[in-house]
Structure 1
């Protein structure tokens, strides 16, 4: 029997709309269980052509939680120069964060939404890339702040009290 792969739907946007930025982004990429690297280096899986981007800027790392038969993911920052904004949190070099089913990510002017569609196979996952003609995040400079920005309007951050 064929086992369903987990699918990451990744939407990308950059305000310059320069076709060269996303020229090396494949429409789809089948991947094993090693981290998916994002950056400007030729050996990254998602290669983006931006001079301000690190050669290896971040990675999406699959793992399996104890007792679960599904792959889940965390985002890890590999850049020493820049920070990465994920779902309202600013991450710096070597910091990582588990991803939820829908994630808003911003780095080096790039806006990225990662939606995880779970599958039963533990042997790998598939990434489907989509280039967005319009912004994906309401505040494009969000990665430059440490303040929490709720993706759910009007709700306080978890653990902030009444």
Structure 2
């Protein structure tokens, strides 16, 4: 991937996810090292609010839509709530207003787990809200990267957001 070709090879995808796994590891070590100092109500709320606002509404809309086409607002909600910038601002405001605390580590834990463990990055409007193999991208990957790009999943036509 470069500034003119915004896609990744299977290898660079694994490396990219690996960077988030490293961030997850550091965050978890810090969190568990200070577990006795964690305020649990803020920790739980900070962990779940990202998906309560950013993922669950879109996931419900996607599953309820017969053709799986959903409004772009769901993508914007997901991308805003799962943005390192947005969550950095949340952490900064929290520290400015209430002071630093170990519970804030659940935010990078959430984001790094989404990206490193589950492979969930920001969602483009042109792809379905939930992961579906895009046959055009599968052909491109196969042509560029060969067997290493082969997927065990069956390619399905792309279903983007048109509303």
Task: Return the TM-score normalized by structure 2.
Answer: 0.23
Task: Return the TM-score normalized by structure 1.
Answer: 0.23
Larger radius of gyration: 2
